[in-house]
Amino acid sequence: MKTSNESNLSTSLSMYDRAQSVLAGSVGHDLRYALPGPIYTARGKGGRKWDVDSNEYIDFLVGNAALLLGHADQEVVAAVQSVVADGTHFGNDHPLQLEWSELIQQMVPSAERVRFTNSGTESTLLAIRLARAFTGRPGLLRLEGHFHGWHDDVVHGFDMPFQEPTCLGATPNDQRDVVCLSDRQIDRIDDLLSQQKTAAVIVESTGASWGRAPLREKFLQSIDEITKRTGTIFILDEVISGFRFGAAGVQGVEGIRPDLTTFAKVVAGGMPGGAVVGRRDIMDLMQKNGDPHHDRHQRVVHFGTYNACPPSAAAAIVTLKRIQSTDVTHRVNTLGANMRQALQDLIKSLGIAAHVYGQASLFHVYFETDSNRLSDISEQADVWIDDPARLKGMPGHLVARYQQLLRYHGVDLMSGTGGALCTAHTEADISEAISAFEKVLIKLLDEGLVFQI
Ligand SMILES: Cc1ncc(COP(=O)(O)O)c(C=O)c1O
């Protein structure tokens, strides 16, 4: 396996040079920014990918967790190829849109109605608008650290420090009636929602940033109860967990029924696309009935040139059918558990003050770097911490160096210290990745960026 280092990333780096004079921000997505430059990926197959310098990576980014079946799955590629031969996009509804939405309805019990969007950001935007329209209330409650895309209602509050604005140019939370609380403040949440001025509470189903800061136990059940009691709309953001944690996502695992759910990524088979699903009475706010007054003044408006475009529908149908009728999610969840265990065993054998965690097919690593805490730690179990500010607040230079070294050893992560697995990964990929982690962790110890117990 040819892996990268600073000297054999030359094609990627020269492309990055070109990008500086044409791409705003030099990259196509904030998370792609990396030092000395991002990798330019040429192709992928299964759980691996190759950059333009022919370096090979075990891929734990898998299309920002969109590709549950891995890269270039044969059946997905064939389905997409077969529809694009007849036209890529019409701006009309397409028969595959129906099959796609019926599959979602069969798999997710709360999906009384389905509306397709083009991304997770569009899904959360539409769900929040529907909730405000349905309740006639302006407020939105979001949770510290949780990520729901980049539109103004949700852009502040996902990054540390959570109460400070995240983004220039975005309307401040107080002007948008958005309150941001911690999931540790359940009494304040109850008080706020009891005032019945809040349209919706939106929650990342995994806890903040695909589980980097997990939710308190039974938090979703508490929100389910409080929202039902106060007439607040419960929006569960399953953009990451939907169809990945199981056929019915986290709501299926936890036995809850949110009013609205937002999907993207796996729901569209790894192609561009998303969906809002939920209660019929809420979703019906988008219905036209031919009465000009109703259609102009009493509806929620939603457009989107590419909504449910045929190639996305084709990829989605293959993917969702595989999830519905085989044991793929069980298998990928087992791989995820094995990855977490192998990484934890490695960390223990090296005596590093870190702990590995995550749910389903996701993994995260927390490195303890706080000198006060380090002096109190005498065994591995003491490293465990559940404070979102710490879990999301590891030193930036440590995280960047860890990601960079892993890339040099043939492993690409999703973001932070963690990654996502796909069904095409194997136990051999995990063993190979663990050897890369070993080299990287030894180097980080050497560089004084991580610490031993
Ligand atoms: C939980 C969650 N919601 C929303 C989004 C936004 O999705 P998109 O990047 O498709 O706009 C993401 C993206 O990673 C996400 O993880």
CA distance 89 to 73: 22
Name the residue range of residue 354's domain.
6-71+328-446
Domain C-terminal end among 325, 340, 370: 325
Please give the distance, rounded to the nearest whole angstrom, from the Cα atom of residue 196 to the centre of ligand 1: 28
149, two tokens: 């895309």
CA distance 381 to 366: 12
Chain centre to alpha carbon of residue 287: 30
Q: Is the CB of 147 under 6 A from ligand 1?
A: yes
Distance, CA 445 to ligand 1 centroid (Å)? 33
219 with 339, same domain: the answer is no
Identify the domain boundary among 271, 301, 325.
325
218 lies in the same domain as 305: yes
In a domain, residue 453? The reply is no
For residue 245, how far is its CA from the centre of ligand 1 (angstroms)? 16
Number of domains in the chain: 2
Residue 196 amino acid letter: Q
Residue 149 lies in a domain: yes
Q: Are residues 344 and 197 in the same domain?
A: no
Task: Tell me, using a 6 A CB cutoff, whether residue 205 lines ligand 1.
Answer: no
- Say if ligand 1 is within 6 A of residue 437 CB: no
Q: Is the pTM of this model over 0.95?
A: yes
Q: How far is the CA of 189 from the centre of ligand 1 (A)?
A: 24
CB 369 within 8 A of CB 394: yes
**CB distance 264 to ligand 1 below 6 Å:** yes
Residue 290 CB coordination number (10 Å): 6
Per the CB < 8 A criterion, the answer to whether 49 and 410 are in contact is: no
Residue 409 belongs to a domain: yes
The pLDDT, as a whole number, for residue 127 is 99
- Assess whether 106 and 187 both reside in one domain: yes
Those residues whose C-beta lies under 8 Å from the C-beta of residue 449, and which sit 6 or more positions away, are: 369, 395, 397, 398, 401, 402
Q: Provide the strand spans (E) within 248-369.
A: 260-264, 274-278, 354-357, 362-367
Phi, psi dihedral angles at 244 (to 5 degrees):
-105, -45
Residue 366 shares a structural domain with residue 405: yes
Atom of ligand 1 nearest to the CA of 146: 1
Cα of 368 from ligand 1 centre, angstroms: 28
The rounded distance, in Å, linking the Cα atoms of 343 and 168 is 38
Question: What is the distance between the alpha carbons of residues 404 and 398, in angstroms, rounded to a whole number?
Answer: 10
Separation of CA 121 and ligand 1 centre (Å): 6
Residue 1 within any structural domain of the chain? no
pLDDT of residue 412: 97
Q: Is the CB of 146 under 6 A from ligand 1?
A: no
Domain end, chosen from 274, 306, 325, is at: 325
CB atoms within 10 A of CB 344: 17
Identity at 349, one-letter amino acid code: S
Structure tokens at 369: 């770097």
237 with 378, same domain: the answer is no
240 lines ligand 1 (CB under 6 A): yes
* CA 119 to ligand 1 center in whole angstroms: 7
- For residue 124, the ligand 1 atom closest to its alpha carbon is 4
Task: Note whether residue 401 is domain-resident.
Answer: yes
What whole-number distance in Å separates Cα of residue 415 and Cα of residue 370? 21
Does any domain span residue 272? yes
| Atom 3 in ligand 1: residue holding the nearest Cα | 148
Write down the pLDDT at residue 6.
60
Verify whether ligand 1 is closer than 6 Å to residue 124 (CB atom). Answer: yes
* Same domain (yes/no): 118, 57: no
Q: Provide the CATH number for the domain around residue 225.
A: 3.40.640.10
Q: Which of 189, 182, 176 is nearest to 162 (CA)?
A: 182
Q: Which one of 67, 124, 147, 204 would you pick to mutate in the ligand 1 pocket, going by the greatest count of ligand atoms within 8 A of its CB?
A: 147
Alpha-carbon span 453 to 451, nearest angstrom = 7
Both 103 and 157 in one domain: the answer is yes
**Digits of tens for pLDDT over the chain (453 positions)?**
776 666 589 999 999 999 999 999 999 999 999 989 999 999 999 999 999 999 999 999 999 999 999 999 999 999 999 999 999 999 999 999 999 999 999 999 999 999 999 999 999 999 999 999 999 999 999 999 999 999 999 999 999 999 999 999 999 998 899 999 999 999 999 999 999 999 999 999 999 999 999 999 999 999 999 999 999 999 999 999 999 999 999 999 999 999 999 999 999 999 999 999 999 999 999 999 999 999 999 999 999 999 999 999 999 999 999 999 999 999 999 999 999 999 999 999 999 999 999 999 999 999 999 999 999 999 989 999 999 999 999 999 999 999 999 999 999 999 999 999 999 999 999 999 999 999 999 999 999 999 999
User: Ligand 1, from 29, 32, 121: best to mutate by most atoms within 8 Å of Cβ?
Assistant: 121
Same domain? For 266 and 381 the reply is: no
Instruction: Give yes or no: residues 251 and 162 share one domain.
Output: yes
Same domain as 163, residue 244: yes
Question: Would you say the CB of residue 211 lies under 6 angstroms from ligand 1?
Answer: no
Q: CB of 173 closer than 6 A to ligand 1?
A: no
Question: Is 195 inside any structural domain?
Answer: yes
Burial class (CB in 10 A: 0-12, 13-18, 19+), 177: middle
Q: 115 pairs with which residues across the strands?
A: 276
Instruction: Check whether residue 346 and residue 440 sit in a common domain.
Output: yes
Position 451 in a domain: no
User: The domain that contains 334 carries what CATH number?
Assistant: 3.90.1150.10
Rounded Cα–Cα distance for residues 429 and 421 (Å): 10
Is the CB of residue 207 below 6 angstroms from any atom belonging to ligand 1? no
Other Cβ atoms within 10 Å of 313 Cβ, number? 25
| CA–CA gap between residue 2 and residue 55 (Å, rounded) | 5
Rounded-to-integer distance, Cα 43 and Cα 48, Å: 9
CB 261 within 8 A of CB 251: yes
Q: Ligand 1 pocket, 449 CB below 6 A? A: no
DSSP 251-279: HHHHT---SEEEEEGGGGTTSS-EEEEE-
Q: Is the CB of 119 under 6 A from ligand 1?
A: yes
**Whole-number pLDDT of residue 175:** 87
